[in-house]
């Protein structure tokens, strides 16, 4: 019974990076993790979302409070591969840095959680409580993995949650929500010299964007931690020939929400904008295809304090606890938890590396987080006894 060696810790990350789980194919990551956990006597369960997508759950400990540890298994696309210095799907070590898609966001964090769970199990250091690994699919799109875990009851008995997203330089305990809304407009094509024979799909959509932006000022509250809500029309498309009336146009909005102005208010708001501009000729539809609520906790809890003191011990640094604008699976996992719930986002890698070309994590930081979680998780649970 011994801890996983440093060589193996790096090899596990290397194996994970070589699985191309670009918003898809998480089932291969599940299969890999299940086999790894099995080898160390931990039973894991794969919960399918589709033929190629799945969540994985595993638990150690027999009774007492349950600490949730979570990471997503998907990564974003590598983008223009010619801009990468190294193969994005082959872990490459150069001068103490480990390069590859997902090294920061967040296969190093996921690996550190899984390995620490194995270490804790192998060395028998969990004397009180349980640790539940929740590995999710689809975090980078709409969070269907987290939504599934939550609705299936896996969060019901959880007393604290750690998400190991890249956050080696700060401990995050609250973040904004996010929404993506597509508004489409149908018209009728006609030659632009005879517009009365058709209907221009762009025209009402311009009014929609204008009215939506103009009315947004009524969302004037600001959260003390998270700041004001934010809304931007980020895509506008329509038409394909300069002398034809466009028969189709669409626009998309991204909205960052706060507890004072929550997601469903914006659904109602968009419907009210539609009513303002609808005529007999307009054919406008609104599709809220992504909606993840804000996460608001106070950060006044011993999980945050434990993370700070173990950061001092293993990372040799004093980390601030902060709120962040980014979204995590906590949005969906914590929908029914209150502001006193202990939640932290804390893991290897720097958030500035996420989704970047030449993404990397410091090898020493990755190794440090394995040691950090291995000691911190059982220590935190023991403190609750």
The helix or strand, by DSSP H or E, that contains position 324, with its residue range, turns out to be: strand 321-324
Please identify, using beta-carbon distances, which residue of 109 and 160 lies nearer to Zn ion.
Answer: 109
Q: Which of residues 186-215 bind Zn ion (CB under 5 A)?
A: none
The answer to whether residue 105 forms part of the interface with Zn ion (CB under 5 A) is yes
325, 254 Cβ separation under 8 angstroms: no
Between CA 322 and CA 61 the distance in angstroms is 31
Please confirm, yes or no, whether 139 is among the known catalytic residues: yes
The answer to whether residue 74 forms part of the interface with Zn ion (CB under 5 A) is no
Q: Which of residues 158-177 bind Zn ion (CB under 5 A)?
A: 165
Between CA 293 and CA 295 the distance in angstroms is 7
* 126 to 165: interface string for Zn ion, x by CB under 5 A: ---------------------------------------x
The least CB distance from residue 106 to Zn ion, in Å, is 5
Catalytic residue among 74, 168, 180, 247: 74
* Side-by-side strand order, sheet with 248-257: 230-238, 248-257, 177-186, 283-292
The least CB distance from residue 329 to Zn ion, in Å, is 8
Catalytic residue among 26, 139, 180, 250: 139
Between CA 13 and CA 21 the distance in angstroms is 13
The least CB distance from residue 155 to Zn ion, in Å, is 19
Among 17, 56, 57, 106, binds Zn ion (CB under 5 A): 106
Please identify, using beta-carbon distances, which residue of 105 and 168 lies nearer to Zn ion.
Answer: 105
Please give the backbone phi and psi of residue 182, each rounded to the nearest 5 degrees, phi first: -105, 130
| CA angle 307–344–7, rounded 5-degree value | 65
The answer to whether residue 78 forms part of the interface with Zn ion (CB under 5 A) is no
* Measured CA distances, 289 to 178, 218, 292 (Å): 11, 24, 10
The least CB distance from residue 12 to Zn ion, in Å, is 18
The least CB distance from residue 202 to Zn ion, in Å, is 36
Please confirm, yes or no, whether 74 is among the known catalytic residues: yes
268, 202 Cβ separation under 8 angstroms: no
Task: Give residues in contact with Zn ion (CB under 5 A).
Answer: 105-106, 165
Q: Which residues are catalytic?
A: 74, 139
């Amino acid at each position: 019974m011994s801890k996983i060696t440093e060589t193996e810790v790096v090899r596990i990350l290397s194996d994970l990076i070589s699985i191309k789980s670009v918003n898809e194919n998480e089932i291969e990551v599940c299969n890999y993790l299940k086999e790894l956990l099995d080898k160390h006597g931990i039973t894991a369960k794969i919960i399918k979302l589709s033929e190629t997508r799945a969540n994985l759950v595993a638990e150690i400990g027999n009774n007492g409070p349950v600490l949730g540890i979570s990471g997503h298994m998907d990564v974003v696309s590598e983008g223009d591969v010619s801009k990468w210095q190294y193969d994005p799907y082959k872990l490459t070590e150069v001068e103490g840095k480990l390069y590859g898609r997902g090294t920061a966001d967040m296969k190093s964090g996921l690996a550190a959680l899984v390995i620490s769970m194995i270490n804790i199990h192998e060395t028998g250091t969990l004397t009180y409580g349980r640790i539940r690994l929740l590995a999710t699919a689809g975090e980078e799109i709409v969070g269907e993995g987290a939504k599934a875990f939550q609705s299936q009851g896996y969060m019901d008995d959880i007393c604290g949650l750690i998400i190991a997203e890249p956050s080696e330089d700060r401990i995050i305990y609250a973040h904004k929500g996010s929404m993506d809304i597509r508004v489409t407009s149908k018209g009728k094509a006609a030659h632009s010299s005879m517009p009365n024979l058709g209907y221009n799909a762009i025209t009402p959509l311009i009014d929609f964007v204008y009215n939506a932006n103009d009315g947004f000022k009524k969302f004037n509250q600001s959260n003390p931690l998270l700041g004001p809500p934010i809304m931007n029309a980020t895509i506008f498309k329509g038409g394909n020939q300069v002398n034809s009336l466009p028969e189709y146009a669409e626009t998309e909005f991204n909205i960052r929400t706060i507890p004072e102005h929550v997601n469903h208010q914006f659904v109602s708001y968009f419907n009210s904008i539609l009513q303002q501009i609808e005529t007999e000729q307009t054919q406008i539809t609104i599709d809220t295809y992504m909606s993840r609520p804000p996460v608001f906790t106070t950060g006044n809890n011993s999980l945050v304090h434990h993370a700070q003191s173990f950061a001092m011990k293993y990372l040799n640094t004093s980390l601030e606890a902060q709120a962040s604008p980014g979204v995590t699976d906590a949005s969906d996992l914590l929908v029914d938890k209150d502001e006193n719930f202990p939640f932290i986002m804390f893991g290897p890698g720097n958030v500035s590396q996420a989704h970047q070309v030449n993404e990397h994590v410091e090898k020493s930081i990755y190794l440090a987080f394995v040691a950090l979680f291995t000691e911190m998780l059982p220590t935190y649970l023991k403190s609750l006894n």
